Amino acid sequence: MSRRKRHRFQHNQEARNVIEKGKPLYDTIKGKWNEVHFEKAQPLVLELACGKGEYTVGLAENIPDKNFIGIDIKGDRIARGSKRALDKGLTNASFLRTGIQYLDEFFEDKEVHEIWLIHPDPQPSEKQEKKRLTNQHFLNIYKKYLRKDGLFRLKTDSPFLYEYSLEMLKNDPDFEVLTYTNDLYNSPLLQEHYGIQTHYEQLWVEKGYTINYITARLKV
């Protein structure tokens, strides 16, 4: 392990805005995020597969009346988001180190108000469909934790994943697709993402790639 990674893992162990295995709240926080972790009891918003947490931090800055949780299995990545949030003095941004398949250990049913999925791996081959984070298996997971009228948002540079996800959401009777575009930066929906970009998104946009975006509402 590199020195830089060791430093980031050490940061996670000490940072108050990181929940990971071995820390006291890891096994007890389920259903109690607003009670024992965040300073204010506010609607919970998840960024799944958050990577370096650009969106978790950016959303927390722009929407102070909600609490944001970035979730990723990679500790060295979330350490960067954690440090950025702490440097900015954000008390409504935290990070959970775990896999999406283990959400049941950390969240009660219908505890979450909103879920963001930002530039996930499109997994384009047929053999990879079970890994796509918008297949029916994962949509059912999101439905379990989202409250009625809760929002699911997808942002992707992949036309394939955009079309696939839009079809999946439209065919799911529990979701209502509210807005969608295959060119976010030339769309009235642009304001919905608060101008937040990941590092790679900035590079893609500069090269002329379009960004796709979907918002859907859980009806049940």
Is 149 considered catalytic here? no
**What is the residue type of 208?**
G
Q: Where are the alpha helices (DSSP H) in the chain?
A: 3-14, 54-62, 75-87, 136-145, 159-171, 199-206
Q: Considering only CA atoms, which of 26, 13, 24 is closest in space to residue 79? A: 13
Closest CA to 72 of 132, 39, 118, 139: 118
| CB crowding 162-195: b at 16 or more within 10 Å, else e | bebbbebbeebebbeeeebbbebeebebeeebee
CA angle, residues 182, 188, 193, in degrees to nearest 5: 75
Q: Name the strands in the sheet holding 175-181, side by side, starting at the edge strand that comes first in the sequence.
A: 18-19, 93-97, 67-72, 44-48, 112-118, 146-156, 212-218, 175-181
From 27, 104, 109, 121, the catalytic residue: 121
Give the catalytic positions in this structure. Answer: 121
